[in-house]
Amino acid sequence: MKLGVLSRNGKLYSTRRLVEAAKARGHEVRVVDVLKCYMNITANNPTVYYKGASAPEALEFDAVIPRIGASVTGYGCAVLRQFEVGGTYSVNESIAITRSRDKLRAHQLLARKGIGQPVTSYAHSADATNDLINSVGGAPLVVKIMQSTQGNGVVLAETRKAAEALINAFRGLEADFLVQEFIKEAGGADIRCFVIGERVIAAMQRTAAAGEFRSNLHRGGTASVVKLRPDERKLAVKAAQVMGLDVAGVDIIRSNHGPLVLEVNSSPGLEGIEAATGKDIASAIIEYIEKDSLKGPNKMKGVG
């Protein structure tokens, strides 16, 4: 197969591993920076062009693997849609990626399908601060900027006054944010479930560094292998399916009333989970693409 990895940086661990795995399985693979692409939008011959060092060239792949960063979601998904219009298979489709990147929409879709989550609230009105705090059970609580990634823009307010000040400050900056219940019993730990197709193929527990509540590895958290319960496996797979993602990192947290979904990531990193579990996840992704692409493009999975 001729594979394209849509990534802005070919030196990133996840991108390098996907390229290595694809070549090891006998495929031709190329890394493509989506910001160097432009599109010819026509009815008869939809094409994606790549502007490299020499003359622009039309890109043709049997399948693409989107590794689109959050900061370029809009344009990256536009490029991906153009590949889809042209009949190219994508392991995660553009509509599924945009669903998962819109945190409010993602929470609404998960709730619609009965998937447990921490209590989450959202409001636009400037006089709704107290209502937001009360709706998630009071302080401590978590405030999340809608566009937050890797723990950035996620803040813990330990007291009601701190929560009021934080919410009002974010509102003053005209930032879109969510207010979420803080699951104290989790002890600063969550579980990253790596879903491919209809299976969780690997899972790791991420534990926050001392004095930190965010467990992201980029913020000094540590990772270890964890044994999932059947209900946690089922929850992770269902959450990925609701988003329409065939490859996803589903973050769950253990609470006193069962496992809850924190987030569904459409471009989960490979470095931490491969190191923690010793599993060759990159090869598992390529193997899945080999089989699933035979069904053809434009699966349009998920809801809404």
CATH of the domain at 165: 3.30.1490.20
Q: What's the CATH number where 277 sits?
A: 3.30.470.20
pLDDT of residue 212: 60
pLDDT of residue 60: 95
In a domain, 301, yes or no: no
Q: Under a CB-based contact definition with an 8 Å cutoff, are residues 148 and 154 in contact?
A: yes
Asked whether residue 256 falls in the same domain as residue 286, the answer is: yes
pLDDT of residue 65: 98
For 288, phi then psi, to 5°, come to -65, -45
Number of domains in the chain: 3
Q: Is the pLDDT of residue 218 over 60?
A: no
In a domain, 300, yes or no: no
Q: Is the pLDDT of residue 198 over 70?
A: yes
When pLDDT is averaged across residues 192-201 and rounded to a whole number, the result is 97
Give the confidence band of 54 by pLDDT, cuts at 50, 70, 90. Answer: confident
Asked whether residue 289 falls in the same domain as residue 193, the answer is: yes
What is the Cα–Cα distance from 201 to 249, expressed in whole angstroms? 11
Asked whether residue 207 falls in the same domain as residue 265, the answer is: yes
What is the Cα–Cα distance from 142 to 156, expressed in whole angstroms? 5
Give the confidence band of 44 by pLDDT, cuts at 50, 70, 90. Answer: confident
Alpha carbon dihedral 227, 18, 295, 201, in 10-degree steps, equals: 0
Tokens 């849509």 belong to residue: 6
Asked whether residue 166 falls in the same domain as residue 234, the answer is: no
Give the confidence band of 264 by pLDDT, cuts at 50, 70, 90. Answer: very high
Asked whether residue 189 falls in the same domain as residue 256, the answer is: yes
pLDDT of residue 169: 87
Residues contacting residue 130 through CB under 8 Å, at least 6 positions apart:
164
pLDDT of residue 304: 54
Asked whether residue 60 falls in the same domain as residue 125, the answer is: no
Domain of residue 132: give its range: 120-182
For residue 82 the two structure tokens come to 């153009």
Select the more confidently predicted residue: 214 or 265.
265
Q: Is the pLDDT of residue 277 over 70?
A: yes
Q: Is the pLDDT of residue 152 over 90?
A: no
Residue 134's CB: how many other CB atoms inside 10 A? 11
Mutual orientation of helices 13-24 and 281-292 as an angle, nearest 10°?
60
Asked whether residue 174 falls in the same domain as residue 193, the answer is: no
| Least confident among 69-73, 170-174, 186-190 | 170-174
The CA-atom distances, in angstroms, between 172 and each of 104, 134, 145 are 20, 20, 13
Q: What is the pLDDT of residues 68-125, one digit of tens each?
A: 998 899 999 999 999 999 999 999 999 999 999 998 999 999 999 999 999 999 877 6
The mean of the pLDDT values for the chain is 90
For residue 267 the two structure tokens come to 């471009």
In a domain, 113, yes or no: no
DSSP state of 12: S
Q: Under a CB-based contact definition with an 8 Å cutoff, are residues 83 and 90 in contact?
A: yes
* Residue that finishes a domain, picked among 152, 167, 182: 182
Give the confidence band of 42 by pLDDT, cuts at 50, 70, 90. Answer: confident
**Three-state SS at 6:** strand
For residue 206 the two structure tokens come to 């991420």
What is the Cα–Cα distance from 141 to 131, expressed in whole angstroms? 13
